Chain A
Amino acid sequence: MSQPPWLWHRDFVIPSHTELGGAVIHQVLAELQRRQWSERDCFGIHLALDEALINAIKHGNGMDGSKSVYVGCWLSSDRLRVEVRDEGLGFDPAAVPDPTADDRLDIPNGRGIMLMRKFMSRVDFSPCGNCVVMEKCRNGC
């Protein structure tokens, strides 16, 4: 996918505490709302970004306060790109079981990656799995 002219860009470095991800999400959503992205797009981005940050902080960095999560956000008129990288060992996203399988439906966790993929236009993990790049096209364009 070629890169559009980015109108807005922010980089964040946050320690591995789940409550600190909220400030990143707040800034991204504020910018989207300022540019009048739809409520539906904002809901999906909120959900996907929250899941990506929780994955990085909890599962990637293991809530280790000495490790950081690096977030880059780029926004054009019709596309949001977000990169979330942790300092963990990574994982194989293909090995994550399908949470909608009948025998896994009542397991309390494991739905984050699925929701990221459903609500974003594109979700790619780095080969070792400690970095995810997500893109959302405005109004599902």
Chain B
Amino acid sequence: MPEYRHLDVSEVGDVTVVRFRDQKIIDDLNIQELGQELFRLVEGDGRTKLLLNFAAVDFLSSSALGKLITLDKKVKAADGALKLCHIRPEIYEVFAITKLNRLFEIKDDEADALAAY
């Protein structure tokens, strides 16, 4: 299994659960690296059912949102499903303001999200 600098990756059934290691997803270089690691899950490893767990994340910038949108496109192109969970209220507000809560399926926790696949 490849090493990831920004992600902890595990399997629950046929769903790949991805937990972010960074508390703040902010620095431009880190966001580029994070994006590459996320895209590799789909394009390199062929994983198409992804669950992103934001429990450790207390801040993210709009550049990070851009990476999530690109990831969503890649997952959809592979006929897969991307879900998000454990998003703290301030960050959820960012999703709501930008209406990205309509683009992404966001669940309260991992159990809720896994049950929805």
A107/B69 in contact, CB under 8 A: yes
Partner among A18, A46, A100 whose Cβ is within 8 Å of the Cβ of B28: A18
**Residue on B nearest A63 in the bound complex, by CB:** B28
- Most B Cβ at <10 Å: residue of A40, A108, A114: A108
Annotate A99-132 by CB proximity to B: 1 below 8 A, 0 otherwise: 1100001111101101100100000000000000
The majority secondary structure among interface residues of chain B is helix
Given contacts A47-B94, A105-B102, A106-B73, contact A111 B62 (CB under 8 A): yes
- With A and B bound together, what is the CA distance between A19 and B67 in angstroms? 18
Q: How many A-B residue pairs have CB under 8 A?
A: 55
- Evaluate contact between B70 and A108: CB separation under 8 angstroms: yes
| Known A-B contacts A106-B103, A109-B62, A112-B62; A99 and B98 likewise in contact (beta carbons under 8 Å) | yes
Find chain B residues with CB under 8 A from A19 CB.
Answer: 27-29
**Contact at A100–B98, with CB atoms within 8 Å?**
yes
B90 lies within 8 A of A108 (CB): no
- Identify which of B27, B98, B100 gathers the most chain A CB atoms within 10 Å of its CB: B98
Is A46 a contact partner of B70 (Cβ separation < 8 A)? no
Question: Does chain A have a CB within 8 A of B16?
Answer: no
B residues neighboring A (CB under 8 Å): 26-29, 59, 61-63, 65-67, 69-70, 72-73, 90, 94, 97-100, 102-103
